[in-house]
Structures are given as structure tokens and as C-alpha cells.
Chain A
Amino acid sequence: MDAIILQILNGLDKGSAYALIALGLTLIFGTLGVVNFAHGALFMIGAFCAVTLSRILTLSHEVIDETKTDFLGNPLKVDVPYIYDIFGQATGDVIIDWAVPISILFAIPVMVGIGFAMERGLIKHFYKRPHADQILVTFGLAIVLQEIIKYFYGANPIPTPAPDAFRGSFDFGAMLGFDPNTIIYPYWRLVYFAFAAVIIGAVFAFLQFTTFGMVVRAGMADRETVGLLGINIDKRFTIMFGIAAAVAGLAGVMYTPINSPNYHMGMDFLVLSFVVVVVGGMGSLSGAVLAGFLLGILESFASMAIVLETLPGINQIIIYLVAIIILLTRPRGLMGRKGVMEE
């Protein structure tokens, strides 16, 4: 029982990342009809927003420490962050420690800006082209973006830790009456899950309860009619692209303490996120979220030692296996709508 609860918890944070990325993918597909293979790269760029802000906060000037030597035997140059000079060391340390959460504020405008630039600069030229063309151009863009990141940040993962207050893990087992240490779960992953829930809720609320959201939903259902009513739906859809980019970016920002970001992390999530979208149903926002969590949890269960002993290698194919079964039994996915991707 405790092992099952543990894997459900594990699946939740993985599912949170899948759900957030798939949500953005679905938003873009539902509004603009574009299959965006660069969406994983937006997740990665979000993570590097956190890396960048961490570096900005730790921008330093050198002070020579005559008492120590460097690897060549010269007096050691010690980096002192400028932030110490501005706020003092104690406050400076707190700000640096909280770099990842602070990065949310930094990442939102950056990601929205990148989203606008991507949509206006490149993707809008492919609206009327076949999906295959869209996939090719966005996949190419993803490769370009990751190579740019690699050029500036290198190929190695860059540690971007969570604030000290969220390091370590919470013992759910002890709380639920199991033996201590049987169900432990890192604090930051709980934060990630809560964060994902808030973002998903906010996106749904935005679409459901605002006039802007209502127009967008109407546009998703019938773009032509909304246009005939004199509403500039293209502009709203561009804004939605920016919002989708920000959602992916924020998912990336908050993911950095879970796994040290590297230039390839977007690609690692991209294919799985597409499977999530297809399983959830093309164009279905709630389907994307549901499938994200479902596949995250299933992936966790498939990694259990007892499962691997029975079905070796199942951990590597479970998601695709489920996708095949769902597509065979429900060709539109779990919550897919009639008419989407069927013309």
C-alpha cells in the first residue's frame, strides 16, 4: 500500500510537468491550429531564465584573498556578488537562495516576449501550410534554440537549487500511520505540484470567466464566425501563444531544482508531451491535464522494481503502450472533440 501511495505521489510531480507543457501545446493547437514542436524548447528556455537570473544575482567582482592560493599558486581571487554591496551579505544570501521563485517574475515577461516573437516572426507564416510543414519548421526552431542555449551555457547540467527552506523531504508515511521513511516526498516536488495546480486553474479560470477567454473559446470553436463579428481574433490568438509560452516557461523555471537544467531538457519532455496531448484528445485542455497526470502516474508505477521484474523494460514503453491502446479504443483520445484534426 505504501509503495502504491509513493508512486502516485511520484507520478503527480512528473504529471504536473507533462500537464503544464501539454496544456500550452493544446492551447496553441486549439487557437492557432499549429502543431508546435518548439514547445519543449520553451520549457527549456524557461528553465534557463532561472539559470540566467541566478547568474545575474550572483554577478560578482573579484577580491584578492592573500591568505589562500588558486590552482596555479597565485593569490586566490574570491568572487563577491554585487548584491552583497547593495543589500549586505545576509539579505544578499537570502535573495540568491530564493533565485528560483524570484525567477517567475523574470520569466513571465521574457517568455511572453519570446512567444510573441516566435508567433509573429515565424509561425504565423505557416498557419495555412500543412501540419507536416509546421512540424518541420517548429522542430527546426527547437534545435536552433537548444543550440543557442548550449553555445551560451555549455552542454553540462547547471545546478539551480531550491531555497533552503524547501530542501529535504516530508515523511508522509509517518503522517499516515506507516513506518517512518516508507513514504517520503521532497518538499520542492510538493511545491511544484501545487504550483502546477495553481497555473492550470488560472488558465482555465482565465478562459472560462473573462471576456477575453470567452472570445478565445469562441474563436477556437469557430474562428471564421468570430472574425465576421468584427473581432480581431488573430491578435487574441497571438496573446494566447504568448500565454502558452509563459506557461511552458514557468513549468521550466520551477522544474530547475528537480533536475539541473541542460540544453536538451526540452527535447526530453517534448515527445512525451505530444503523447499526452494525443492521449488527452487533440484540442482538449482538460484532456491534456488529465492525460498528463495519468501518464505521469503510470510511468511511476512502471518503474517499480516488482513491476520491472515481471515485465522487464515496461518502464520505457508504458506511455506509448497506453497511447496505442487509447487510440485504438478511443481514436479521438480521452476527451477529444469531434472534428479536430479530422478534416
Chain B
Amino acid sequence: MSNMKLTRRGLIKTGAVAGATGLALPTYLRADGHAGFLNAPQGSTVTLGFNVPQSGPYADEGADELRAYELAVEHLNGEGDGGMMNTFTSKALQGNGILGKKVEYVTGDTQTKSDAARASAKSMIEKDGAIMITGGSSSGVAVAVQALCQEAGVIFMAGLTHSNDTTGKDKRANGFRHFFNSYMSGAALAPVLQAAYGSDRKAYHLTADYNWGYTTEEAVRTSTEAMGWETVNTVLTPLTQTDFSSYIAPVLQSGADVLVLNHYGGNMVNSLTNAVQFGLRDKQVNGKNFEIVVPLYSRLMAKGAGANVKGIFGSTNWHWSLQDEGSKAFVKSFGTKYGFPPSQAAHTCYVQALLYADAVERAGTFNPCGVVEALEGFEFDGMGNGPTLYRAEDHQCFKDVLVVKGKEEPTSEFDLLEIVEVTPVEQVTYAPDHPQFAGGSLGTCNPGA
């Protein structure tokens, strides 16, 4: 460990000296590109670690993430049709692996438990020599694995994680998030909700009692209150809750005319199903139709809720029905290989794998500090979300956000959501020191050796 710190200091000193003398030498040693960092690839291959939920409640989402990673590996190694590599604005990737090394991978099972996710990531780093860890379907897991990767000295490319904290108070120099966050959901949803339901509304929040729930409630509450809505009550619900009837029954008595379900996964499926069963959507309160809002939608979860999602607004990071060239290329690759369209989890994971590989190519090294530098402030397009920036200050991607609605007349089991608005990136961008992201700092990159 002490050796690692000395080396890192040495690197920083080198950069500082170089900067002081006016040389454009980066903080990693380009001449020593394949040494001086943890798990430097030996031989003709490089190993990536895909840490996804393969068991537990998000196993289906994890399976879709793994499919996306396998597709990304194929494309990186020059197999298949290349997918988004053909539409990606950076042309550093050549389809010959990464820096000429064939991409191999190992997988771990996060079980959507922080300790299990850390253990599987640790094993992939220490035993399998993974140079980068990516994946996951929960913010708790993302924050835990990100911290581990920072300590170990490998890059973490987050999978599906929506909590503000991942790139807020828990951000790390070695960690990067392509997925959007709670703040962006609130900022994108609020104007659409105002247009659809007006400014004079009383909202009742049911919030999953954990990190993601808190940040999502805060983001949606702040955004909706700013446009004139009143928050009449916020109630925390246990993450293990399956029957939400006792939480939903008092909603109408509160005088609220909108129910915001800050729930994800099984919680969302059950709370939404229960709310619809109670007939909330058939009621008139304060002279208005009662409405339900689900801030974070997932197609896989929408499938679990069935017809209950019809007409309900929410936000999503990406949807397979987008018609830009990048999305079409990815849907074609994925759909041809697997027979069904990819989920947003699959999309973000595929993009993260390509972005990592591209950053390595542009940096000319696998050294995590080189990769960090290549990703910070990187602007790109052609990956399904329009022009995108990997902001240097917090390692968060800034791009358009989709506001979606449960489709009234779905034509297939995948056709559950329709895009009602593509919220431009400017509208969801915030200052790095925004109160919802306060605390924590990136620190410095750790090359691990």
C-alpha cells in the first residue's frame, strides 16, 4: 500500500514538474504506459470485470447488462456488426481489442448487496487481474464498488445507478457514471408534469427508505415545488415492503391529488399495482383527476407492473425506440443477437464499456490515471443520447433526458413506454457545487501500484 502511494506521489510530482516547466506531459507516464499501475495487461489480452446482479431481485436486469457487455466485447474485438462503434464520434477504436489486446472478461455477482458486490469486485481485481470494473443495478452497490475500485486502483464504470450521491457526496476520481441521476429526473419531469397537470397540485410522496429514495424524493420535490406544487406529505416505506396498501390507503384522506412513487424495481411494481388497485386513478380530488408519477422508469420493471403503467409519467435514461443512428445501430446489434430490444440498463453498460475502451485508446495506456484524464471533459455523440459531456468536476455524463409515459396501446411486451419529451441537456445541467450534490470530493486518481 505504501509503495502504491509513493508511486502515485511520484506520478503527481512528475506532472507538477512538467506543468511547471511548461511541458505538455500528462500526469501518467506515457513512455511507461504499461507499467506502474495495478493489473497492467500482460501478453496479448486484457481482462475486464463485469460485476452485475446475477441473482437476487435484479437478476433479470443484470442478465441484460451482461448481454450488453458480451456484445460490447464482440464489437471491441472486431466481431459482429460493430454496433455503436460505427456511430460513435470518437474513431479511436479500431475493432482490434483495446490497444491491440484482445478483450476478455470475467463476471461477478453483486446479488444487489453492497458486501457481496465488493467481494466479487475484489476477487475479479485480485484473482483475475481485471483492469476495470463495471456494472450494477443499484446505487448502494455502485457507491460501495466505486469506493473499492478507488482504494484498489482500478477504473469503475458505473452501471445503472440513479442516486445523486454516486457522483455527488460519494464521487471518486476512479469512478465514472454515464447513467442520469435523481436531479436530472426531477428537472426533466417537472415542466412536463406542469404542462400535463397544471401548477396547482398537491403531491404525496412514498419513498423507498434508502439512499436512492431520499435523493429522488428531494429532487422531485424541489423541482415540483419550484413550479408551484405543494408537498402535503412524504412517507418512507421499508425497502422490504411488498404490500403497500397501508401506505396508499391514507393518500386520498390527505387531500393530495398526485402520488409520487419514489420506488424502483419490485417496490415500484408493487406500490404502483396497489395504487391502481385502490382505484386512485379513477378518483377526482380537489376537482382534478388523481394522478400518479414514477420518477424513474425501467422497461423491465414496467413489464412487471403490466397495464398499471398506462398513462403514467416517468423518466428514463434511454429507450430502444429512439431513432438516432446510435440507438438504431445498438438496437439492431442487440436485437439481432438476442431477439428482443435492449433495456436502458443494457444500453448504459454497453456505452460505458465502449467509453472505457475508447479512453484507453486515446490515452494510449491502461493506466487508470491516463484513462481518468482521457474521460474528464470528454465530449462525444453517436451513443444514443445526443451530444454528451463527461464532466471533469464530478465524472457525471451530461446529456438529454427522456420523459416517458406508460403506453396506452402497447403492440408488444417490449412496447410499454412512449417518449413524450426529450429534455435538452441544458435543462438538466446543474453546478458541480449544487446543494443536492454537496459534500465529498473526487480526490486524486489511484493507479493502484
Q: Which positions in A face B, CB cutoff 8 Å?
A: 2-3, 6-7, 9-11, 13-14, 68, 70-72, 76, 150, 154-159, 161, 167-169, 181-182, 184-186, 188-189, 257-260, 262, 264-265, 268, 299-300, 303-305, 308, 315-316
Q: Is B336 an interface residue (CB 8 A)?
A: yes
User: What CA separation (Å) do A195 and B411 show in the bound complex?
Assistant: 35
Instruction: Report how far A2 CA is from B332 CA in the complex, Å.
Output: 55
How far in angstroms is the closest Cβ of chain A from B252?
Answer: 5
Please give the distance in Å from A9's CB to the nearest CB on chain B: 8
- Whether A155 lies near B277 (C-beta < 8 A) is no
- Count of A-B contacts judged by CB separation below 8 Å: 132
Residue in contact with A305 in the complex, picked from B235, B245, B283, CB distance below 8 Å:
B235
A156 to B416, CA, bound (A): 15
**Given A156-B60, A161-B306, A184-B279, 19 extra CB contacts under 8 A:** A6-B250, A6-B253, A7-B249, A9-B249, A10-B245, A71-B331, A71-B415, A72-B335, A154-B59, A181-B253, A181-B285, A184-B278, A186-B278, A189-B245, A260-B305, A264-B57, A268-B240, A300-B246, A305-B235
B277 x A186 contact (CB < 8 A): yes
> Which residue in A157, A189, A315 is a CB contact (below 8 Å) of B238?
A315
Q: What residues of B have a CB within 8 angstroms of the CB of A186 in the complex? A: 245, 277-279
Identify which of A6, A14, A181, A259 contacts B270 (C-beta below 8 A).
A259
- Complex: how many Å from CA A217 to CA B419? 62
- Give bound CA distance, A4 to B321, whole Å: 47
Q: Which of B312-353 contact A (CB under 8 A)?
A: 320-321, 331-332, 335-336, 340-341
Q: With both chains docked as a complex, state the minimum distance between the C-beta of B317 and any C-beta of chain A, in angstroms.
A: 18
B contacts with A: majority SS: helix
Docked Cα-Cα span, A150 to B55, in Å, equals 9
> B238, A316: Cβ atoms under 8 Å?
yes
* A338 smallest CB distance to B (angstroms): 35
Contact check, B253 vs A2: say whether CB atoms are below 8 A apart: yes
Interface segment out of the listed B74-82, B296-304, B428-436:
B296-304
- Look across to chain A and name the residue whose beta carbon is closest to the beta carbon of B62: A155
B289 at the interface (CB under 8 A from A): no
Give chain B nearest CB distance to A248 CB in angstroms: 16
Decide if B356 is an interface residue (CB 8 Å cutoff).
no
How far does the Cβ of A56 sit from chain B's closest Cβ, in whole Å? 17
**24 sample A-B contacts, Cβ–Cβ < 8 Å, listed by A number:** A6-B253, A13-B245, A14-B245, A71-B335, A71-B341, A76-B412, A155-B58, A156-B269, A156-B300, A156-B301, A156-B303, A157-B270, A168-B282, A169-B282, A258-B243, A258-B273, A259-B242, A260-B270, A262-B304, A268-B240, A268-B242, A300-B245, A304-B250, A316-B238
Q: Could you tell me the distance between the alpha carbons of A158 and B269 in the complex, rounded to whole angstroms? A: 9
A70 with B270, Cβ < 8 A, contacts A154-B59, A315-B238 known: no
Inter-chain contact A6/B249, CB cutoff 8 Å = yes
A272 to chain B, nearest CB (A): 10
Chain B residues within 8 Å of A161, by CB:
306-307
Cβ-closest 3 pairs across A and B: A159-B306, A169-B279, A155-B59
Chain B 211-250 interface mask (CB, 8 Å, partner A; 1/0): 0000000000000000000000101101010110111011
Of B59, B235, B242, B277, the residue contacting A265 (CB under 8 A) is B242
Interfacial chain A residues near B15, Cβ < 8 Å? none
In the bound assembly, the distance between CA atoms of A3 and B252 in angstroms comes to: 11
Within the complex, the shortest CB–CB distance from A222 to chain B, in Å, comes to: 40
Interface residues of B in 52-80 (CB under 8 A from A): 55-60
Known contacts A184-B249, A265-B242, A315-B238; is A155 also within 8 Å of B57 by CB? yes
Q: Is the CB of A3 within 8 A of B250?
A: yes
Chain A residues within 8 Å of B414, by CB: 71
Query: Which A residues lie within 8 Å of B304 (CB)?
Result: 156-159, 260, 262
Name the B residues within 8 Å of A2 (CB-CB).
253
Q: Would you give the 0/1 interface string for B246-265, flagging 1 where the beta carbon is closer than 8 Å to chain A?
A: 11011011100000000000
Report yes or no: B243 in contact with A168, Cβ–Cβ below 8 A. no
Docked CA distance A70–B320 (Å): 12
Inter-chain contact A260/B252, CB cutoff 8 Å: no
Residue on B with the closest CB to A72? B335
B306 touches A150 (CB 8 A): no
A296 to chain B, nearest CB (A): 10
Contact of B331 among A72, A155, A167 (CB under 8 A): A72
Say whether B278 contacts A159, CB under 8 Å: no
Chain A nearest Cβ from B187, distance in angstroms: 28
- Decide yes or no whether B138 CB sits under 8 A from chain A: no
A264 partner residues in chain B, CB cutoff 8 A: 57, 266
